[in-house]
Amino acid sequence: MRTYRIRRLESWECYRPHRCTRRSPRYTTSLKVEIEGRELTRRGNVGSGGFFFEHDRELPPGSELPLRIRLPGPGEWLRVQGRVLGSVCSRGQAGVRGGFARLDPPEQRRLLDWIDSLQPSVDRAA
């Protein structure tokens, strides 16, 4: 089993891709996300350090919001406190990049177990 470090993000941390490097692998898929009381199915990715998903509007960097992310496969929902690192707008589509401000230990374990089950197909690009 691989070990990944989940770290708490600070509000001052950069959110520009050219200044930050990915510290953990991400898995790209179609995600079910519950945000602001709405359940959405969006293309995105999730890893031990954070998430990205397409969203219909920009969210202010530094804002925190409760999220539920449904992991493909086991069909379990992760309850996390997400911190928005930035929004991306490209070709009329917005996306939200974020990290985990709070991820309780049982949720963290489920996320890491899920990532371990995907090792051959994990995107390791920085």
Task: Give all domains of the chain, ordered by start, each with its CATH number.
Answer: 26-118 (2.40.10.220)
The pLDDT of residue 44 is above 80: yes
Tens-place pLDDT, residues 71-115: 877 678 899 999 999 888 777 668 899 999 999 999 999 888 888
Stated pTM of the model: 0.70
Q: By C-alpha distance, which of 81, 79, 83, 58 is closest to 70?
A: 79
